[in-house]
Amino acid sequence: MITGYGHFAQLAESLQWDETAIDLTADAEAFPQLDQDEYDQVLGLLAGFCIGETSVATHLTSFNAAASSDDMMAEVFTAQARDEARHARFFDRVVREVCGVPGTNMTERVDALRDRVSPDLVELFEERLPAIAASVAEDHENLTAAVGLYHMILEGVVLTAGQHALLQTLKGLSVKMPGVVKGMELVLRDERWHIGFGSRIIQSADVVDDQMEELLTQGTKAASAWGDLIAQDDIAHVEHLHQRRLKSVGIKFW
């Protein structure tokens, strides 16, 4: 079982952080020293986060409106939207100040990075998420399906896999990038309660059989969206976590 929405509202307030306060000086000095494989791996994962976090920060507002009948749930969506916007700003700051990605704004830098990630990942964040957000805006009854995609698949599987992969990559580099590690750890901390919040909504919802099947199959497919940037063992691990999470919120599929 998972706590009520009031707990998440309190948690969100207690976990605020400032992305501009993280010192990226050492990271900016280290990044040009990466060898080609390290460079491609780090920039590829960062590109995925820039695309993903920018999209989720944009589209979460539809969810908030759909939750308007439950003030506390709506408040938590607002708190989460604040986090997602911060995450997008943090990764944009990293690619701008550390990696030197060109562009006069976040949108231009995302455009410059899009070729570094697989089409599957781009489709998830730039086609499927906007589509489900539009469906929620049109009919608030679609909120459960939207949370299923957003919190359980995109956050619980895709972004979680990427976060662990990036942390693992950073800690194994030939040079140190402490500012990016620090920010990534704070993002991961936020994402844990976001996933808990989404799981709470799913746990309370009347999820029908085809939605259960969809959650399972989407999760399995989405785990591979990073392509070669994430090792097969890590993909299998995140798939296992996804299935375990679904079982814990009452999604039975065996």
In the complex with another protein, the residue whose CB is nearer, 103 or 196, is 196
Closest approach of Cβ 226 to another protein, in Å?
18
The encoded tokens of residue 231 equal 């090792």
In this structure, is the dihedral angle defined by the CA atoms of residues 64, 68, 69 and 75, taken in order, positive or negative? positive
Phi and psi at 110, nearest 5°, equal -60, -40
Q: Which is nearer to another protein, 26 or 72 (CB)?
A: 72
- The residues of the shown chain that bind another protein, judged by CB under 8 A, are 1-4, 7-8, 11, 160, 189, 192-193, 195-197, 199-200, 241, 244-245, 247-249
- Report the 10 Å Cβ neighbour count for 68: 11
Q: How far apart are CA 10 and CA 98, in angstroms?
A: 33
The residue among 117 and 241 lying less far from another protein, judged by its C-beta, is 241
- Beta-carbon-side half-sphere exposure of residue 175 (alpha carbons within 13 Å): 16
Rg for the chain (alpha carbons), in Å?
18
CB closer to another protein, 1 vs 21: 1
